[in-house]
Copies of this chain bind each other. A is one copy, B any other.
């Protein structure tokens, strides 16, 4: 018999309508205590993520002790100088990206970049059981934060300047799970970018970690060999693009092997609104992705490249935390038009996007507002793709949004849209 993923209570329970209305009324819990996560432990929100430089250094130092799993990376990490710039900001990354974030030049030249080591890592990433550095006693300090799904407003400025960092952080994706994440700006997914067709995006990536990284925006028409090239630790790459088409586009690290870099957390969404605004709506961004994890080491679970190749994920999530919008739903009002920009970052499985109790009155097959179709219950968003779904909330209630491929969705790709009267 093929052995499957250990079944977790939180997987089993996270879904719709587990109790009769009688029970719900008895216990008096509406959203504050989630209806749908039976048996899930209370969330520890100690709120003290890895914010001090000393914690950061400790993380990297301890990570190196596990590096046997990934030959070469230990040496790279050991060579890492203490890094005063590496503290993780508390401010939302989405705020940072709208204002341009910190200056990427700060840390240039601080690191002992060694492309030979990086290359060694690239040649041999799959020989061990783990594809990510790991082990951190600070894991306990990584708080579970809700990822804000709201589409950030457009800037008045028609030029967006983004200075992002490729960062390694321990990230708590659910109450009992901290992952050794490769990230853009310290989160999975990275910051949501919002611009218009024809806007200018000036982007700089600075790599703060020992493994080479890069950035590939699906919204850009540009030579990938130059713009999406990998940079080693301490290096930066800068490029500028003007989105030609509206839509929900993926961005991700494109460094080889791409599967490992996407699979370890380096992705996000750039939403390009059309020149002529779409009908007014409450707009949200949902990034679906999969998590393939090795067993925990000192409280942190590294990503597992061989599992990624096996295509059977441990978790699937919207915006990086399994079931987060069950506990903390997305809220709108009766009469609102809701627009979901759904980006499927995979790395592998499609997203059969569906809202329970609703249908989409409009979906755009081409760049919005092109080729609208009507009356859709479920549509597949391919990995590496994005689609725009709209519905009008005529009816108050609690509407689960799901990936209707439940063999995967049961592992966390379920949330709630609450329509308040």
A residues contacting B by CB (< 8 A) are: 1-5, 7, 9, 11-24, 35-36, 38-39, 115, 119, 122-127, 212, 214, 216, 218-232, 235, 244-247, 249-250, 254-260, 262-263, 305-312, 346-350, 352, 354, 356-359, 365-367, 370-380, 382-386, 394-400, 402, 404-411
Q: Which residue of B lies closest to A306 (CB)?
A: B4
Cβ-defined contact, B346 with A407, below 8 A: yes
Q: Which of B23, B231, B350, B378 contacts A20 (CB 8 A)?
A: B231
CB of A268, distance to nearest CB on chain B (Å): 14
Check A347 against B406 for contact (C-beta < 8 Å). Answer: yes
- Looking at the complex, which one of B5, B38, B256 makes contact with A17 (CB distance below 8 Å)? B256
Could you tell me the distance in whole angstroms from the C-beta of A340 to the nearest C-beta in chain B? Answer: 15
Cα separation A228 to B307 with both chains bound (whole Å):
36
A125–B307 Cα distance when bound, in Å, is 25
A414 to B376, CA, bound (A): 26
B230 touches A20 (CB 8 A): yes
A219 to B378, CA, bound (A): 11
The A interface, classified by DSSP as helix, strand, loop or mixed, is loop
| 8 smallest beta-carbon distances between A and B, as pairs | A384-B404, A223-B397, A245-B375, A367-B375, A348-B407, A366-B373, A378-B385, A7-B126
| A125 CA to B10 CA, complexed, in Å | 12
Q: Which residue of B lies closest to A290 (CB)?
A: B407
Contact B127 A7 (CB under 8 A): yes
Known contacts: A346-B406, A406-B346. The answer to whether A225 contacts B256 by CB under 8 A is: no
The complex places the Cα of A11 from the Cα of B119 at a distance, in Å, of 15
**Chain B hits for A125, CB < 8 A:** 12
Chain B positions within 8 Å of A18 at CB level: 119, 122, 212, 230, 255-256
Residue of B nearest to A272 (CB): B375
A379 to B310, alpha carbons, bound, how many Å?
23
Q: In the complex, what residues of B have CB within 8 A of residue A123's CB?
A: 9, 12-13, 38-39
B228 touching A16, Cβ below 8 Å = yes
Q: Are B257 and A11 in contact (CB under 8 A)?
A: yes
- Chosen A-B contacts, 21 in total, with CB atoms closer than 8 Å, are A2-B312, A11-B257, A12-B305, A13-B257, A14-B256, A16-B228, A17-B228, A18-B212, A19-B229, A20-B230, A21-B225, A39-B123, A221-B394, A227-B357, A308-B406, A346-B405, A349-B405, A352-B383, A379-B382, A380-B385, A384-B406
A228 near B39 (CB under 8 angstroms)?
no
Chain B's closest residue to A212 (CB) is: B20
Q: Do residues B395 and A221 form an inter-chain contact, with CB atoms below 8 A?
A: yes
Most chain B CB atoms below 10 A, which of A20, A359, A385: A20
Which B-chain residue is minimally distant from A13 (CB atoms)? Answer: B256
CA distance A231 to B18 in the complex (A): 9
Best-buried of A14, A229, A349, A377 by chain B (most CB within 10 Å): A377
- Pair A122/B13 contact, Cβ less than 8 Å: yes
Q: 17 new A-B pairs (CB below 8 Å) besides A17-B230, A377-B385, A383-B405?
A: A12-B257, A13-B123, A17-B255, A18-B119, A20-B230, A23-B115, A36-B256, A220-B357, A223-B399, A224-B399, A244-B375, A250-B377, A257-B410, A308-B406, A384-B402, A384-B405, A384-B406
Contact A406 B385 (CB under 8 A): no
In the complex, are the beta carbons of B366 and A374 less than 8 A apart?
Answer: yes
B256 touches A405 (CB 8 A): no
